[in-house]
Amino acid sequence: MIPPVARDFVAGEEPATAFEHTRQTNEAGVGVILNKLGEHYHERGPAEEDTAAYEQLIAELGETDLDSCVSVKPSQLGIDVSPAVFEENYRRVVEAGSEHGVFVWCDMEDATTTDTTLDAFESVATEFGGGVGLCVQANLRRTRADLERLVDLPGKIRLVKGAYDEDEEIAYTDQSAVDEAFREDLTYLFKNRDSGVAVGSHDPEMIAYARELHERHGSDYEIQMLMGVREEAQRRLAREGREVYQYAPYGSEWASYFYRRVRERKENLLFAARAVLGV
Ligand code: FAD
């Protein structure tokens, strides 16, 4: 069972609890991106199991009127087994999304997976004509060139700062350089797309900058934040008329995800310690 302290960050262990969380979050005008926890599978079996779980989840979501979509991780669908296994499983999930009218996001993992993930996305976005979105990371030096490749494809693009530690040669490692790259990439997206731009950030400065770009260029966009992070701001932005989505993970592998959230920010660490100690 998930302890109360982790429940702020994880929408339960089963699809049923994730659906209930989605229903409640929707009431505040915030959509939900569901992610079944699981990553770095080195064998075909678990990757196929999670693929089947997503197909089932999507079929069930398609029967509801929830404002929700899904987001998959390449290493959950088998990219560490082989690119071919990932491509096959990813295509199955996208096919299910297309059949049931459920949007399918793809997260971006470490830089060794970028080429394969981009190729797979380009292929499904072209074949299915939309209904899919891809995350790109502003900390990678290559991202601007990748955006030029992606910008005219159907579907959506989620820009994030990047969560993986990468070498200086391929990535900006200084926070201010990452922030600058984020602004430049966001500007490029707003200038070159009428819609389908997603700002995956909790940073009030980036969110304000996106609004500025929207006023200047008119492109439609959405803001995406994680469950348990700045939820008050998520609801406020939705009340102000912005399209907001909350990325909500669920599943039995909640512990490692929760500890990652706790480690990355001292406020979360304090919050977790207080909850555990009851002070
Ligand atoms: P930071 O640069 O960490 O912080 C900037 C400011 O934001 C802070 O000063 C503070 O004002 C505010 N802030 C940040 N965190 C908090 C907090 N916990 N509580 C209160 N205020 C806070 N990364 C990937 O590499 N691949 C992915 O596929 C991916 N998908 C993502 C999907 C979503 C929806 C989101 C929100 C993030 C995703 N990330 C992904 C993670 C991302 O790359 C960043 O590591 C993460 O979002 C932290 O950067 P930031 O822009 O939110 O703010």
More confidently predicted of 227 and 254: 227
Rg of the chain over all Cα atoms, to the nearest angstrom: 18
Domains and CATH numbers, the chain: 27-249 (3.20.20.220)
Residues in Cβ contact with 79 at an 8 Å cutoff, skipping those fewer than 6 apart: 85, 86, 109, 113, 116, 117
- One-letter amino acid of 157: I
pTM: 0.95
The closest-lying atom of ligand 1 relative to the alpha carbon of residue 160 is 43
Active-site residue flag, 183: no
Active-site residue flag, 107: yes
Strand extents, DSSP E, the chain:
31-36, 68-72, 104-106, 132-137, 156-160, 197-200, 221-226, 243-250
> Can you give the pLDDT at residue 1?
84
Q: Identify the bridge partners of residue 171 per DSSP, sorted by sequence position.
A: 140
Closest by Cα among 145, 190, 188, 136 to 164? 136
Residues in Cβ contact with 233 at an 8 Å cutoff, skipping those fewer than 6 apart: 202, 204, 225
Q: Identify the active-site residue in 7, 50, 80, 107.
A: 107
**Ligand 1 pocket member 181 (CB < 6 A):** no
**Ligand 1 pocket member 227 (CB < 6 A):** no
Q: How far is CA 8 from CA 32, 95, 244, in A?
A: 14, 32, 18
The closest-lying atom of ligand 1 relative to the alpha carbon of residue 135 is 28
Give the model confidence (pLDDT) of 164-175 as tens digits: 999 999 999 999
Which of 77, 201, 205 best tests ligand 1's pocket when mutated (most atoms within 8 Å of CB)? Answer: 201
pLDDT band at 279, cuts 50/70/90? very low
